[in-house]
Amino acid sequence: MGKPTGFLEFERELPKKRSIDERLKDYREIETAPTDSNSKQQAARCMDCGIPFCHNGCPLGNIIPEFNDAVYDENWGLAYEILASTNNFPEFTGRICPAPCEASCVLGINKPPVAIEYIEKSIIEKAFELGLVKPRIPKTRTGKRVAVVGSGPAGMAAAYQLNQAGHSVVLLERADRIGGLVRYGIPDFKLDKGIIDRRMAVMEAEGVEFRTGVNVGVDIKAEELQNEFDAVLLTVGSTVPRDVKIQGRQFKGVHFAMEFLSQQNKRVAGIDRVVDHRGATYANGEILATDKHVVVIGGGDTGSDCVGTSGRHGAKSVTQIELMPIPPKDRDASTPWPNWPMMLRTSTSHEEGCDRHWSINTKEFIGDENGNLTALKIVDLDWQKDPETGRMQMREVDGSERTIPCDLAFLAAGFLHPQQEGLLSDLDLEFDERGNIKTNGYQSTSNEKVFAAGDCRRGQSLVVWAISEGREAARSVDEYLMGESFLEAKAVSMLNPVFAHA
């Protein structure tokens, strides 16, 4: 334990954010860089608990008290070794993880929890600054070839691990750049894309081969893939969005959230730029929120990212509506510590300006004679528990139907499952009841050479879970190829149902 009285002396302090005025003018990261003295002070708050619930709360089983201690001692090399032993990409999770570890931190019972995510970010940024993140080139090669299809965090983590085990790994991606939703979903103001490029350079030096612009199933057929490689790991994500199939869906101005978010990230990356009538630089012919009334349908992370992006475009108004009732402002009695608390969350994008409403259903998209969206018809909902089944049931509130102005509607109602037609059906894969790839552990139930991990197996989830799944699947592939595996053991919290929500 670094400082026995640290948790009594110091308050929880998070990285400073740039002012709203300043950050709405650009797409640079909102958080400022951590400072050594602040990281040390925050690490000093850790009590080095006999039973560290934080460690169990993290899907990766991060060894949190030990790296907190090393940071307090300013032993950045040790802190980095401990962190890197369970997490391939702390530079991702240190920026955008909702931090289930903090929700289960023991200090959180009666004080604000240890700022674990912040400490994680400080360790990895310091490690890069000090040149500690060096390529680790495997000493021997097994001669086995593995194809990893899909380069999101699950695919990247699996490729990293399998390469370390000595296999020759090719990471195939249909987009023009590596990173999956971290590249083309999560906005730059949450995670700068140079962070992915920096990590890719290390992995390339270690021997991972990246191939972009390859739509597997089309450019390389399923049969070819199986003939060319000793094992195939699918990390293709959950890419089919949930639609809102109501009257007026065809109007110009109704878009899936990902259409909007991915094109914005491409603009920031300088792909397909043109200068518009106001002198601003944008991609050709695409979705602009500038001077528009924007309504985001769906209250999760994806919706919040549409809010932040619309604000940066200079929208006339930004409204976010959600079907479910407003969650409690504080931790609810139904989710006591150390469970993940069901409570109201306000993101940095919400802080920047947004009208938020809950218990609202969208009835109709309304448009003009030119086919352009002009308004939404909505209605208030009353949610009540059914006394017989105990399930929540919704009822429209009489007389609450109304229209609100809307030139752009973003559908952010979640994702259903991976794209099944094409590659997955050509590989003869089975699907579970939610339409995800059905596996036994991480191995496909119907094709023993094929494995799956991340959102395509688990359903829409989080980056930390994608990394965890990628690591676990890599171990299964390694066992399949070699009969045994020395890759990292299972994440500890796989045994713990508390975070099964994520």
Ligand X SMILES: Cc1cc2nc3c(=O)[nH]c(=O)nc-3n(C[C@H](O)[C@H](O)[C@H](O)COP(=O)(O)OP(=O)(O)OC[C@H]3O[C@@H](n4cnc5c(N)ncnc54)[C@H](O)[C@@H]3O)c2cc1C
Nearer to ligand SF4, 335 or 347 (CB): 335
**Residue type for position 235:** T
66 or 188: whose CB is closer to ligand SF4?
66
Residues 263/437/146/447 CA torsion (nearest 10 deg)? -150
Q: Does position 170 bind ligand X by CB under 6 A? A: no
Q: Which is nearer to ligand SF4, 79 or 220 (CB)?
A: 79
Contact flag: residue 96 with ligand X (CB under 6 A)? yes
CA atoms within 13 A on the CB side of 51: 3
Site string for ligand X, 4-43 (x = CB under 6 A): ----------------------------------------
Which one of residues 30, 84, 103, 105 is an interface residue with ligand SF4 (CB under 6 A)? 105
Contact with ligand SF4 (CB under 6 A) among 64, 178, 200, 404: 64
User: Using CB atoms within 10 A of its CB, is residue 369 exposed (0-12), middle (13-18) or buried (19+)?
Assistant: exposed
Q: Minimal CA–CA distance to 418: which of 406, 408, 427, 410?
A: 427
Spatial neighbors of 350 by CB under 8 A, at least 6 apart, are: 304, 307, 320, 356
71: tokens are 């940071």
- Is residue 119 part of the contact set for ligand X (CB under 6 A)? no
Cα 272 to Cα 194, 345, 439, distances in angstroms: 19, 35, 40
Among 86, 151, 309, 436, binds ligand X (CB under 6 A): 151
Which helix (DSSP H) or strand (DSSP E) does residue 299 occupy? Answer: none
Contact between 266 and ligand X by CB under 6 A: the answer reads: no
Contacted by 64, from ligand X, ligand SF4, none: CB < 5 to 8 Å by type = ligand SF4
Nearer to ligand X, 90 or 153 (CB): 153
Question: What, of ligand SF4, ligand X, none, does residue 172 touch, CB below 5 to 8 Å by kind?
Answer: ligand X
182 binds, among ligand X, ligand SF4, none (CB under 5 to 8 A by kind): ligand X
| 60 makes contact with ligand X (CB under 6 A) | no
Q: Pairing state of beta strands 373-385 and 392-396?
A: antiparallel
Q: Which residues pair with 305 in a beta bridge?
A: none
CA neighbor of 96 nearest in space, from 67, 127, 117, 82 = 117
Part of the chain binding ligand X (CB under 6 A), chosen from 15-23, 52-60, 234-242, 326-334 = 234-242
Mask for 298-337, x = binds ligand SF4 (CB under 6 A)? ----------------------------------------
With b meaning 16 or more CB within 10 Å and e meaning fewer, what string describes 412-428?
Answer: bbebbbbbbeebbeebe
Give CA 375 to chain center in angstroms. 31
From the list 163-171, 222-230, 297-305, 425-433, the region that binds ligand X by CB under 6 A is 297-305
Q: How big is the chain by its Cα radius of gyration, in Å? A: 23
Residue 252 CA, chain-centre distance (Å), reads: 29
User: Out of 6, 34, 59, 65, which residue is the one contacting ligand SF4 (CB under 6 A)?
Assistant: 65
In the bound state with ligand X, the residue whose beta carbon lies nearer, of 153 and 248, is 153
Q: Which spans of this chain sit near ligand SF4 (rule: CB under 6 A)?
A: 46-49, 52-54, 64-65, 68, 105-107, 114, 116
Residues that bind ligand X (CB under 6 A): 96-97, 149-155, 172-175, 180-182, 185-186, 214-217, 235-237, 239, 261, 301-302, 305, 423, 454-455, 461-464, 466
